[in-house]
């Protein structure tokens, strides 16, 4: 899961830079399966709990009742130039086979159905799309491409469908922030250079590319 964590760090930093003007960051590997992004700007450290909650509420993943990213999150991603960046990561890393170092997110037929279910598309024109896509190929990138093409073909009748598919994709790659750690003054934070009791790995800073960092 590290490629997803690393992408989330980069995306979140971009959001905080562009939306709030923060410039001083330190990234930490947690020692287990997550990461921490510390914001050290003076006006960030001085935020109240309510102010921190507002930042978290804006940047964190928000989903609709189907499990796709909320519509306002897609609008915000586009306003920051992150929409295409998310799709590129989804295709190049998320959909690459695990045997090639990817995440294989659409390798299974069940995952294809799950992604399509999140779109909320129930129209008869596209109801059987997951089955058609699964029969077409076992390659995740080709499956995604087929879904995009099929939905775009009916844009005149279902103008909201392409964005619904894009929002379903966003929900799979957008970072999940721990709200309590982000907003609470009384929440314990992993001490730098401490050892994680479950893995024996050390909480260390990430100075270079997060994608190139190896948790092992």
* Predicted local confidence at residue 216, as pLDDT: 87
Contacts of 97 (CB under 8 A, 6+ apart): 104, 107, 139, 140
d(CA 35, CA 29): 5
- Low pLDDT (below 70) residues in the chain: none
Q: Sign of dihedral through CA atoms 177, 178, 182, 188? A: negative
* Predicted local confidence at residue 77, as pLDDT: 94
Tens of pLDDT, residues 60-101: 999 999 999 999 999 999 999 999 999 999 999 999 998 888
Q: What are the φ/ψ torsions at residue 162 (nearest 5 degrees)?
A: -60, -40
* Predicted local confidence at residue 7, as pLDDT: 96
Cross-sheet strand order for the sheet of 35-39: 35-39, 25-29, 204-205
Could you identify the residue written with the tokens 């050290």?
40
For 175, the token pair is 């970072």
* Predicted local confidence at residue 98, as pLDDT: 87
Percent of the chain with pLDDT over 70: 100
């Amino acid at each position: 899961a590290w490629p997803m964590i690393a992408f989330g760090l980069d995306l979140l930093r971009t959001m905080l830079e562009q939306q709030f003007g923060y410039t001083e960051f330190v990234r930490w590997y947690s020692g287990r399966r997550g990461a921490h992004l510390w914001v050290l700007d003076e006006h960030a450290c001085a935020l109240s709990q309510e102010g921190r909650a507002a930042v978290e509420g804006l940047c964190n993943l928000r989903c609709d009742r189907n499990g796709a990213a909320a519509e306002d999150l897609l609008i915000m991603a586009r306003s920051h130039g992150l929409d295409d960046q998310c799709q590129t990561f989804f295709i190049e890393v998320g959909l690459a086979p695990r045997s090639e170092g990817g995440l294989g997110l659409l390798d299974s037929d069940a995952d294809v159905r799950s992604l399509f279910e999140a779109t909320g598309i129930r129209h008869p024109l596209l109801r059987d799309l997951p089955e058609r896509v699964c029969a077409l190929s076992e390659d995740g990138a080709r499956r995604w491409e087929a879904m995009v093409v099929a939905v775009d073909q009916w844009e005149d009748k279902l103008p909201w469908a392409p964005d619904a598919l894009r929002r379903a994709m966003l929900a799979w790659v957008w970072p999940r922030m721990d709200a309590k750690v982000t907003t609470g003054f009384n929440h314990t934070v992993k001490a730098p250079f401490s050892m994680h009791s479950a893995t024996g790995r050390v909480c260390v800073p990430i100075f270079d590319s997060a994608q190139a960092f190896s948790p092992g």
